[in-house]
């Protein structure tokens, strides 16, 4: 199978959907000739033209309102927000309009919007462009929230998100754009709400999201040399959450570490911990549930401080060892 990058997988998913359905189009800042802030839409303007690759003014509030209007009148828009931090400017439209309209009209309308946005730290963009705010969006009924950790998942989940009749927040980590793996050229989808066990193990379960999946897999590889057999579960979608896969793994291993990049306090890891604690799997635990999240600081610009602000391979390994004592 050919290997492509995460960035190329996202782009391929959009191109395939736009070729298959004339109602699909994309809007965003600098997505036209410039190709997007991270180059995801590079070449799409030339292929599809200005009607379907719509370059917009710098106004997240305005363009989020535009895609909602387009969606409720029959189109299937994709909105690219340059940085996930800018969701703060578009929140009124997304949380108070997109998330609620279908419910308020008794299911008679559809709001098929995908909001694609790069999040996370590690690229030196400092405090206002490096946050992980996905937990905010999971709190809003009516929104689905997706956080793929690999090129294969990115393509399949994005195609499923575009086909979805409800609004979907689609978080892409900046540092994952350059990662590569085998991705089929043909069209395929991955159902929203289906987790994946990325690595089988028996001693401890790591439930990780986003880029932390890759760091947890690396930590598991290194720990295996020390005789510790780790299982790594990737929820892939935060809403809807595949509770069964997580609970099955925790029941098997008896220990669970939840790893996420967002600030630990009130992060999505707390929701996963609650799901476990409120289930009958709680009785199978051999150690307390542990969360490993970001520090309670704005993301620093200094690269060394930036690295220390969020979990890394070594801190994941340290947390596992602490739990295995």
DSSP per residue, 283-322: GG-SS--EEEEE-SSPPPSSHHHHHHTS--HHHHHHHHHH
Contact 206, 216 (CB under 8 A): yes
Number of domains in the chain: 2
Residue 74's CB is within 10 A of a number of other CB atoms, namely: 9
pLDDT for the residue 94? 97
Q: Which tens digits make up the pLDDT trace of 273-307? A: 999 999 999 999 999 999 999 999 999 999 999 99
What is the distance between the alpha carbons of residues 97 and 83, in angstroms, rounded to a whole number? 21
- Domain termination site, one of 150, 182, 214: 182
Question: For residue 257, what pLDDT is reported?
Answer: 98
Residue 234 counted as domain residue: yes
pLDDT-derived band at 154, boundaries 50, 70, 90: very high
- Is the same domain home to 171 and 277? no
- Summarize pLDDT for 158-195 with one digit per residue, the tens: 999 999 999 999 999 999 999 999 999 999 999 999 99
Model pLDDT, residue 1 = 83
pTM: 0.96
Q: Same structural domain for residues 176 and 255? A: no
pLDDT computed for residue 248 by the predictor: 98
Token readout for 55 is 């370059």
Whether 201 and 175 map to the same domain: the answer is no
Q: Render pLDDT for 74-117 as a digit per residue (tens, 0 to 9).
A: 999 999 999 999 999 999 999 999 999 999 999 999 999 999 99
Mean pLDDT across the chain, nearest whole number? 97
To the query of whether residue 173 is one of the catalytic residues in this protein, the response is: no
120 and 147 share a domain? yes
What is the distance between the alpha carbons of residues 180 and 315, in angstroms, rounded to a whole number? 24
* Domain end call among 155, 182, 209: 182
Residue 201 lies in a domain: yes
* Statement: residue 325 has pLDDT above 90: no
Asked if 227 and 139 sit in the same domain, the reply is no
DSSP secondary structure code for residue 182 in this structure: E
Please check the confidence at residue 255 and state whether its pLDDT lies above 90: yes
260-294 as b/e: b if 16+ CB within 10 A:
bbbbbeebbbbbbbebbeebebeeebeeebbbbbb
- Both 203 and 140 in a single domain? no
Residue 45 contacts residue 191 (beta carbons within 8 Å): no
Same domain for 174 and 249? no
Question: Both 166 and 315 in a single domain?
Answer: no
Q: In terms of domains, do 169 and 49 share one?
A: yes
Range of the domain at 214: 196-324
Whether residue 22 is found in the same domain as residue 145? yes
Q: What is the pLDDT of residues 38-61, one digit of tens each?
A: 999 999 999 999 999 999 999 999
What's the distance, Cα to Cα, between the start and end of the chain in Å?
42
């Amino acid at each position: 199978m050919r290997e492509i990058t995460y960035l190329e997988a996202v782009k391929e998913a959009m191109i395939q959907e736009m070729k298959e359905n004339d109602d699909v189009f994309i809007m965003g800042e600098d997505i036209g000739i410039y190709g997007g802030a991270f180059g995801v839409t590079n070449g799409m303007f030339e292929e599809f033209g200005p009607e379907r690759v719509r370059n917009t003014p710098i106004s997240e509030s305005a363009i989020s309102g535009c895609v909602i209007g387009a969606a409720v009148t029959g189109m299937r828009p994709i909105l690219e927000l340059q940085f996930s931090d800018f969701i703060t400017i578009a929140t009124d439209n997304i949380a108070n309009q997109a998330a609620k309209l279908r419910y308020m009209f008794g299911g008679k309308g559809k709001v098929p919007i995908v909001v694609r946005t790069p999040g996370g730290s590690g690229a030196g963009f400092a405090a206002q462009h490096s946050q992980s705010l996905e937990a905010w969006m999971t709190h809003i009924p009516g929104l689905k929230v997706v956080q793929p950790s690999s090129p294969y998942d990115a393509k399949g989940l994005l195609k499923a998100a575009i086909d979805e009749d409800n609004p979907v927040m689609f978080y892409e980590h900046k540092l994952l754009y350059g990662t590569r793996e085998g991705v089929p050229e043909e069209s395929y989808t991955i159902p929203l709400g289906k987790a994946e066990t990325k690595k089988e193990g028996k001693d401890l379960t790591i439930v990780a999201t986003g880029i932390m999946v890759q760091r947890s897999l690396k930590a598991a590889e290194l720990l295996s040399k020390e005789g510790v057999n780790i299982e790594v579960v990737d929820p892939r979608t935060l809403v809807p959450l595949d509770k069964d896969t997580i609970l099955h793994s925790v029941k098997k291993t008896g220990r669970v570490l939840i790893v996420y990049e967002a600030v630990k306090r009130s992060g999505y890891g707390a929701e996963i911990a609650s799901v476990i604690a409120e289930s009958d799997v709680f009785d199978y635990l051999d150690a307390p549930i542990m969360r490993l999240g970001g520090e309670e600081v704005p993301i620093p610009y200094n690269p060394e401080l930036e690295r220390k602000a969020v979990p890394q391979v070594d801190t994941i390994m340290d947390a596992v060892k602490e739990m295995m004592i």
